Amino acid sequence: MLNIAVLVSGGGTNLQALLDAQARGEIPGGRITLVVASRPDAFALTRAEKVGVPTAVLRRKSFESQAQYDEALLSILRENEIGLVVLAGFMTIISPTVIHAYENRILNIHPSLIPSFCGEGFYGLHVHEAALARGVKVTGATVHFVNEICDGGPIVLQKAVEIQPGDTPEVLQRRVMEQAEWKLLPKAVALFCAGRLQVKDGRVEILPAPDQKEEP
């Protein structure tokens, strides 16, 4: 059983999707054993505490340097024997030090079809505002591994969501969550915990399940 840490900053809707999937038995190879928040007032902490998941708060501004923050984060991950880190709306920068320590073991969910509307400055409602301003007909969400490039890591899963006439950024954000994010993230976590994600040459291959034969 793989120990999973979920890193959060706000309401924790993607954390809730993971907790619900776990409760339904959809992540058989892993369990959420730690939630780390960047803010003490993050409602995600309440979601975790409600189901008995241990929590911690690490505020970047409480540390004099990035190196000290990195060491604190790595220490808590190691103490809890974490095998997978999931970024679920985490707004603090993950440095190369942490990324290298957990290479291809950090998953992030982004509310667009990467490479569209991603990278520096594209987070939260800004992503959906940009999609509507550009006039695209389809958006969606992407789960990817984290590397040193913002939203540039190997893509694991994507799901498209249609944009409807009259959409506001808030309405579109909710639809992308419901139709894509809350489905993709638990699925990606389950695949990782089952040992079915393999990164090769910057691309992710999803391996067949042990009881599933490969297509000829």
Q: Are 162 and 131 in contact (CB under 8 A)?
A: no
Q: For residue 213, what pLDDT is reported?
A: 56
Is 70 exceeded by the pLDDT of residue 43? Answer: yes
Q: For residue 210, what pLDDT is reported?
A: 82
Q: Are 160 and 151 in contact (CB under 8 A)?
A: no
Instruction: Give the active site residue among 110, 126, 128, 144.
Output: 110
Domains of the chain, earliest start first: 1-102 (3.40.50.170), 109-206 (3.40.50.170)
Is 90 exceeded by the pLDDT of residue 211? Answer: no
Q: What is the 3-state composition of the chain as percent helix, strand, coil, each rounded to the nearest 5?
A: 35, 25, 40
**128 included as an active-site residue:** no
This prediction has a pTM of 0.95
**Strand-pair category, 84-87 with 106-110:** parallel
pLDDT, tens digit (0-9, with 9 covering 90-100), for 122-181: 999 999 999 999 999 999 999 999 999 999 999 999 999 999 999 999 999 999 999 999
Residues 6 or more apart from 100 whose CB is under 8 A from it?
none
Q: For residue 159, what pLDDT is reported?
A: 98
CA dist., res. 128 & res. 125, Å (int): 5
Percent of the chain with pLDDT over 90: 96
